[in-house]
Structure 1
């Protein structure tokens, strides 16, 4: 198995909506307001809409669950879903929560990525698993995506 670079995604985010503590943890909804992606196999824009339906657990780790829509450079629409985890030392996670710029080497942020589309040109994405490594910026998430071959 090998990793093949797909694209770098920059997903711009709305302010965090705190739903509150549920039986799963601290539920947060973070709307997606736009962005872009570019790489050797995929280029285009992140469309407004969708969100990260995130849970922050007692140990400070976050379960990531996003769903949103992409438009490729040639007009195809892609549905994307990511699921992952972000964790690190409490002081690092506190700095992230405060909106500070934190070196991604100080915390762990990994994703599974799935795609759906009706476009014949991008049908291969629906038959491909992808993974990513991410970093959180004050108003965006940036992640490098790779297909598993």
Structure 2
């Protein structure tokens, strides 16, 4: 009899937890989920140097482009892209391209923000997850936000443009 009582208590606890989680998720009036909102954080133009091909490896062909600099401007962040970091890529056997970009912002008032981006870029366009990191007090909030960048790459001009959007959770 004890196992049945324990199972019943566990079932009630699980159902209660699931009901609480379900009621905490915002939904449309038709019952579907509400998508997050977004706000433009910045737009950037980044200049790349000559590409270095590392050759074929076990996961595909790797290459990298040095970041020569650039600028970014938006409602919350403005400044220059310092000439450090790189834009690395992996081209797989099926033609899929995966980017990994690491670089540094310097805001108009002198704060440094480390930026890391990753995501697929088929045909020179894609969406990237951008992670921002700083110890600067005025910009510490960037450590705790989700940023998605709509990216375009012009290899002939050595130019990357990104419109970066801060994702905003739906209101409850």
CA RMSD of aligned residues (A): 1.0
> What is the aligned partner in structure 1 of residue 143 from structure 2?
126
Which blocks of at least 5 consecutive residues in structure 2 are unaligned? 1-35
More helix by share: 2
| TM-score (normalised: structure 2) | 0.74
Q: Is the 8 A contact 2:102 2:116 kept in 1?
A: yes
Kindly state the Cα deviation for residue 81 of structure 1 after the two structures are TM-superposed.
Answer: 0.2
Alignment of 1:21 with 2:56, yes or no, is: yes
| TM-score (normalised: structure 1) | 0.85
Aligned with residue 115 of structure 2, among 54, 67, 80: 80
Alignment of 1:148 with 2:167, yes or no, is: yes
Kindly state the Cα deviation for residue 19 of structure 1 after the two structures are TM-superposed.
Answer: 0.4
Which protein shows a greater Rg?
Answer: 2
If asked which structure has higher relative contact order (CA below 8 Å, sep 6+), I would say: 1
Question: How many Å separate the matches in 2 of 1:62 and 1:41?
Answer: 31
Question: How many Å separate the matches in 2 of 1:84 and 1:9?
Answer: 17
Which blocks of at least 5 consecutive residues in structure 1 are unaligned? 89-106
